[in-house]
Amino acid sequence: MSKFILNVTCPTRRGIVAAIATHLADNGCNIIDSAQFDDVDTGRFFMRVTAVSETGSTLADIRAGFEDVAAKLEMDYDFHDAGENMKVILMVSRFGHCLNDLLYRWRIGALPIDIVGVVSNHLDYQKVVVNHDIPFFHVPVTKANKAEAEARLRDIVRDSGAELIILARYMQVLSDTLCKEMSGKIINIHHSFLPSFKGANPYKQAHQRGVKLIGATAHYVTADLDEGPIIEQDIVRITHAQSPEDYVALGRDVESQVLARAVHAHIHRRVFKNGNRTIVFPASPGSYASERMG
């Protein structure tokens, strides 16, 4: 059986679910997981379906026959082979906790992705990356060579066929042009619970304000710095007795977990952009299982 994922977005109206289910059933497919959301504020409908072909229909057959259904209901849609791993590039500077966490999850099969390269403006993690048999690209960035460095990054993305860039604490701002070119395909982890405490030193700001909760935010990168649609967030409780350094140490764990959850949602096609917000559907049964659970 061939498993696939269908993502649908369209204006809300009666009969959408019935039309999708009927088409899949008529083509020998069994729906094994489904989630939907009707946004009454925007009048948009969102749906994610996981199905298996039980009668030999190929994904190409199912996709071709779906065009008439989609046209009638004004759908934007995509079919994805659930067995195909997304090609991903990781980018990192000098904080390696998110990078190491992603590499571990990838290594045990908890994140089914193909890491086609790691890009860094420093050499700190070259050995770690190479030891995983992953291509490492050192792309130094200065004020003088920023345009050339980004051109190099574009070449790496194109040559590797990467579908997603993950900024695993990459401490350089990407250009507006690149953000627009790869809209919805760059995920950043921000070491703060956005929208509060933006900028370079959020933990110091949080400490100065005496907050009792700190957190992290994973979001899509846009031309507006740290303003992109939020995918995942989480927090950790702290006390008045803890220092800014404690905040940083506690924050590392939250950042790693939040980024991994955001990546998991994206690669399983669970995230839908809805204006400046996102719809994030629950994970399908079994999608968190890994090859090595120890």
DSSP structural state of residue 109? T
> Alpha-carbon distance 65 to 59, whole Å?
10
Q: Residue 164: beta bridge partners?
A: 88
Catalogue the active-site residues.
Answer: 226
Residue 143, φ and ψ in degrees, nearest 5:
-60, -35
> Alpha-carbon distance 149 to 124, whole Å?
18
CB 258 within 8 A of CB 250: no
CB 88 within 8 A of CB 60: no
| H or E element at residue 178 | helix 176-181
DSSP string across 41-58: TTTEEEEEEEEEESSS--
- The residue to which tokens 């399983």 are assigned: 268
Query: Strand (E) positions, the chain?
Result: 2-11, 29-39, 44-53, 76-81, 86-92, 113-120, 136-138, 164-167, 186-190, 213-220, 230-237, 271-274, 277-280
DSSP structural state of residue 243? -
